Amino acid sequence: MKPNRIWMFIPSLFISAVLTSCAPSAISIMPASTLIGKPAAVSAATSTPTATLIPPSFTPLPPTETLTPTQTASPAPTETVTPVPTVESLKATVTADLLSCRYGPGAEYLFLYGLRKGANIKLIGRTDGNNWVWVDGRNKCWVNAKFIEIDGNQLSLPVVYPGIAKLPVSPYYPPTTISSATRSGNQVTIEWLDIPLRAGDEEDASMLHYIVEVWRCEGGQTIFDPLATNDLSVTFVDEPGCSQPSHGRVFVQEKHGFAGPTEIPWPAFK
């Protein structure tokens, strides 16, 4: 009966092995620190370090100098000169009892004819630097504007001298020659050579033999001065400060006309 015991034992071993292989295996628990998901609550027992507040220290700054703004001088406004529109002519009436009309723009030029009080005249030009105006007519001539009443502004007349308006030329005498032109500060002296006139070639006993036309500077303004003399030199004032350079010329005057002009070599400021 021994063999039967062996066979009974073998099936038992087989059943035991099958049950062992079918049993669930053990679950491995991962540490909590490796879990991905909602983090665990922070323990309240962990002590949080407190900040120690240091009161700010205040170091006063040394007082600084307060700058007082200085007043800046504003440049003075410059005067704006408004140009006067030019016209071709102006009407005028003589107010003097008898007004001389002359060949040149000044009282010492040769006489042409006279105008009586109330005469109506037509003005067609002026000089730039004095008060003389040019009268239209068969024989054009010059009058002093202070002896006429002008219908308009004489500065609106065109400047015609020197230029369009010319002096009659003497057919009998040569121009003079400038011998010297010197300056002492604002004083200018011009000298020239004599051109003697023959007897009877004076307009009258009061006629002056030479006319020195100068465009000189005085008070910041250019002034036209026809300086007449029987001498061989003239002295006049010429200052710096004008926008146009000063200049001048000399005419020999005799009853038939004017010889020249001879240009003056203008002395410079030193």
Report pLDDT digits (tens) over 208-258. Answer: 999 999 999 999 999 999 999 999 999 999 999 999 999 999 999 999 999
- Model confidence pTM above 0.85: no
Would you give the distance in Å from CA 14 to the centre of its chain? 126
Same domain, 204 and 234: yes
Domain boundary among 128, 161, 194: 161
Look at residue 119 and tell me if it is in a domain: yes
Contacts of 106 (CB under 8 A, 6+ apart): 130, 132, 142, 211, 226, 228
Look at residue 14 and tell me if it is in a domain: no
Report pLDDT digits (tens) over 121-155. Answer: 999 999 998 999 999 999 999 999 999 999 999 99
In the chain, how many domains are there?
A: 2
151: exposed, middle or buried (Cβ count in 10 Å: 0-12, 13-18, 19+): exposed
Domain boundary among 115, 135, 161: 161
Same domain, 106 and 182: no
Look at residue 221 and tell me if it is in a domain: yes
Look at residue 223 and tell me if it is in a domain: yes
Report pLDDT digits (tens) over 155-193. Answer: 999 999 999 999 999 999 999 999 999 999 999 999 999
Same domain, 156 and 219: no
Closest to 142 measured CA to CA, from 163, 160, 156, 129: 160
Look at residue 255 and tell me if it is in a domain: yes
CATH code: domain of residue 233: 2.60.40.10
Same domain, 182 and 155: no
The type of residue at 175 is P
Question: What is the chain's percent helix, strand, coil content, to nearest 5?
Answer: 10, 35, 55
Look at residue 28 and tell me if it is in a domain: no
Give the pLDDT of residue 97.
Answer: 98
Look at residue 10 and tell me if it is in a domain: no
Report pLDDT digits (tens) over 64-118. Answer: 444 444 455 555 555 555 677 899 999 999 999 999 999 999 999 999 999 999 9
Look at residue 224 and tell me if it is in a domain: yes
CATH code: domain of residue 116: 2.30.30.40
CA 168, 173, 174, 177 torsion-angle sign: negative
**Sole residue written with tokens 């005469």:** 119
Query: Higher model confidence: residue 74 or residue 12?
Result: 74
Domain carrying residue 247: 178-263
